[in-house]
Amino acid sequence: MSQEAELGLRDRLAQLSGVKLLRGTKLSAELERLQRQLERLREDTTDEEIWGRVLLARDEKRPYTLDYVERILEDWFELHGDRGRMDDHAIVAGIGSLDGRTVALVGHQKGRDLKERAVRNFGMAYPEGYRKAMRTMELAERHGFPVVTLVDTPGAYPGIAAEQHGQGGAIARSQAAMLRLGVPTVSIVIGEGGSGGAIAIAVADRVLMQENAIYSVISPEGCASILWRDASQANKAAAAFKPDAAHCLELRVIDGIVPEPEGGAQVDHDAAAVLLRESLVAHLDELADVPADELRRARRAKFRSMGVLASV
């Protein structure tokens, strides 16, 4: 772990330590999570462990967006369609109640069986899906609802029809829409966070990853195909660019790690939902009283600083 990354975490710990109560909620659980993350980052991760995270992120038994919606939200009302072309089932969106506050939620949805996977397009959205997401975010902005997004996709759908419908532009406009939001936003990568399909709904004030999720600009197979012309070298590629949560936190691509039950979220959906809900509530409480202009300024500064090289 780099010294700079550790100092960043320690600074966040110091800031939270000075906050006794925020909207009536103690932040001791958040402090404990950050302490555990510091300890985890100090441990060396083997190449085999990184590939194991990739396999766990893709496990077919992991909870998907609607599994979490069922467990953490009340009064869920799903929204459909982009008001232009169609309803993309790879993206689910709607309004619900989380811990007494109304939130807008957008997330990728994969399928459990072959039929549902075909309907959901394996969680790979068309432009219409991202336009549905933007419609939901605009509704949240209008009514002052925080926005929660759950990311779980190999990437945006790369087919000819998607390109004809403006895939690249839809992804860019979705990112721009999130940057303009004046309401608190929290994104959690709950499985695969792949490329532009993921970042389209992950430009948030707080970007978190579940412990066994992955987040990267390209899949390990895609990277291996480019570098070695051999997709079977995917484990070697994953070891090189380290898409796991601990290394994403060290790189400051994300702001925190959401713990999972022993063995992974796929082992116990209910326990995983409890841990995810606790993290969401803690971060939304922290952001609740931040003025809209400050949210926008800090959000833009955070993403513009990513990947900036500095001479030392």
Note the pLDDT of residue 20. Answer: 45
pLDDT-above-70 percentage for the chain: 84
Q: Which residue would you say has higher pLDDT here, 36 or 53?
A: 53
pLDDT over 90 (residue 41): no
pLDDT band for 19, please (50, 70, 90 cuts).
very low
Note the pLDDT of residue 44. Answer: 58
Instruction: Specify the residue for token string 């994104």.
Output: 187
- How far apart, in whole angstroms, are the C-alpha atoms of residue 65 and residue 59? 14
Instruction: Specify the residue for token string 């709950």.
Output: 190
Note the pLDDT of residue 25. Answer: 47
- How far apart, in whole angstroms, are the C-alpha atoms of residue 19 and residue 11? 13
Note the pLDDT of residue 241. Answer: 86
Note the pLDDT of residue 42. Answer: 52
163 neighbors 136 (Cβ within 8 angstroms): no
pLDDT over 90 (residue 239): no
- How far apart, in whole angstroms, are the C-alpha atoms of residue 190 and residue 130? 18
Mean pLDDT of 48-63: 90
Instruction: Specify the residue for token string 């839809």.
Output: 170
Reported as a single tens digit per residue, the pLDDT across 252-265 is: 889 888 999 988 99
Which of 58, 63, 108, 48 lies closest to 219, judged by CA? 58
pLDDT band for 242, please (50, 70, 90 cuts).
confident
Lowest mean pLDDT among 17-31, 89-103, 166-180: 17-31
Strands (E) across the chain are located at: 74-79, 91-98, 101-108, 147-153, 185-194, 206-210, 214-216, 256-258
Which of 239, 101, 111, 256 lies closest to 183, judged by CA? 101
pLDDT over 60 (residue 287): yes
pLDDT over 90 (residue 72): yes
pLDDT band for 21, please (50, 70, 90 cuts).
very low
- Domains of the chain, residue spans: 26-298
132 contact partners, CB below 8 Å, separation of at least 6: 79, 80, 81, 82, 87, 88, 91, 93
pLDDT over 80 (residue 28): no
Note the pLDDT of residue 139. Answer: 95
- How far apart, in whole angstroms, are the C-alpha atoms of residue 278 and residue 26? 12
The model's pTM: 0.82
Reported as a single tens digit per residue, the pLDDT across 164-221 is: 888 889 999 999 999 999 999 999 999 998 888 899 999 999 999 999 999 998 888 8
pLDDT over 90 (residue 9): no
169 contact partners, CB below 8 Å, separation of at least 6: 127
- How far apart, in whole angstroms, are the C-alpha atoms of residue 277 and residue 237? 33
Q: Which amino acid is at 144?
A: G
Query: What is the CATH code of the structural domain delimited by 26-298?
Result: 3.90.226.10
pLDDT band for 83, please (50, 70, 90 cuts).
confident
Report the chain's C-alpha Rg in angstroms.
19
Note the pLDDT of residue 8. Answer: 58
pLDDT over 70 (residue 161): yes
pLDDT band for 280, please (50, 70, 90 cuts).
very high
Mean pLDDT of 88-115: 93
Note the pLDDT of residue 23. Answer: 42
- How far apart, in whole angstroms, are the C-alpha atoms of residue 188 and residue 280? 9
- How far apart, in whole angstroms, are the C-alpha atoms of residue 208 and residue 210? 7
Mean pLDDT of 65-77: 95
97 contact partners, CB below 8 Å, separation of at least 6: 73, 74, 75, 103
